Amino acid sequence: MPEKPDDMLGRVCVVTGASGGIGKEIARGLALKRATVVVTARSEEKGRAAAEEISDDTANPAVSFMQLDVASKASVTAFAEAFAKKHEALHVLVNNAGAWFGERKTNDAGIELTWATNVLGYFLVEQALEPLLVASAPSRIVNVASAAAKGLELTDVEYKRRRFQGLAAYAASKQADRMLTWAMADRLRSKRVTANALHPGVVASSFGQTAGSFMAAASRLYFKVAGISVERGADTAVWLASSRALETDTGGYYVKRKEVRCKFRDEAAIEKLWAICEEMTRG
């Protein structure tokens, strides 16, 4: 078979939260480029079905499923250990798994669930897989962020002293995702591992179905009416993961395949966020 543009044959990719929505389409896009793709999800039933569907649709037998709950440190650790036994390399990590909730919930460690999923999940998975990413360099980290990013309060990331608001917690977590990306880019630049963030657009998907408030229902309706297709939403992530022209580009924020200015670049705040993530995931 002739080589295709940005062909990824022999490249190993992990996509978190890939049982549906843009995560599933990102995995599909990478599979179409002949990559070895590991689909991860909390639900074994949904994740395995997604992996089988993608494999069949793309005629790519190198698509598989591995269970992963990014909001659980134990799950991340178990996943990383199992992944290393199955794969000798990792060339692309797409941090996509995310959620938002209408009410304040916590994970198995008592950490607010939006933060545990959207922020600590990105941090934990990257840290657990970093040795393989470095050993497989040149490699890439692609973090799915959002244009909705705002309102991060580093003195109260879990909404312990403020009234919890689901959309505000989600927006703050997406600001943190961008800031974590800059920290990853700086720390890994010399190791030939790039890290970039993107806004996929307002995507018509089932995202937000875990939120039960009136505002959540209204937001889901808006996503369905005004949202773009999951295929279009996945496009920039697939491009960042595969484009040969971007092999050394790092620390960027992209919308519709174009790098755009990001205001969340305060170095002191970024380092404080990194320290918070380290402290919250220690032990």
**Could you list the active site residues?**
170
| 74/76 Cα distance (integer angstroms) | 6
What's 140-197 look like in SS3? EEEEECCCCCCCCCCCCCCCCCCCCCHHHHHHHHHHHHHHHHHHHHHHHHHHCEEEEE
Whole-number Å distance between alpha carbons of 86 and 34: 18
Q: Parallel, antiparallel, or unpaired: how do β-strands 12-15 and 92-95 relate?
A: parallel
Q: 3-class SS at 126?
A: helix
Q: How far apart are CA 267 and CA 199, in angstroms?
A: 21
- Which tokens belong to 99? 């959620």
Sheet holding 36-41, edge to edge: 63-67, 36-41, 12-15, 92-95, 139-144, 193-199, 253-255, 258-259
Using alpha carbons, select from 25, 47, 33, 28 the residue that is nearest to residue 1: 33
d(C-alpha 170, C-alpha 156), whole Å: 14
Structure-token pair, residue 38: 């590991």
If one counts every other C-beta atom within 10 angstroms of the C-beta of residue 215, the result is: 14
Q: Where are the alpha helices (DSSP H) in the chain?
A: 21-32, 44-58, 73-86, 113-115, 121-135, 166-188, 214-226, 230-242, 267-281
Amino acid at 216: A
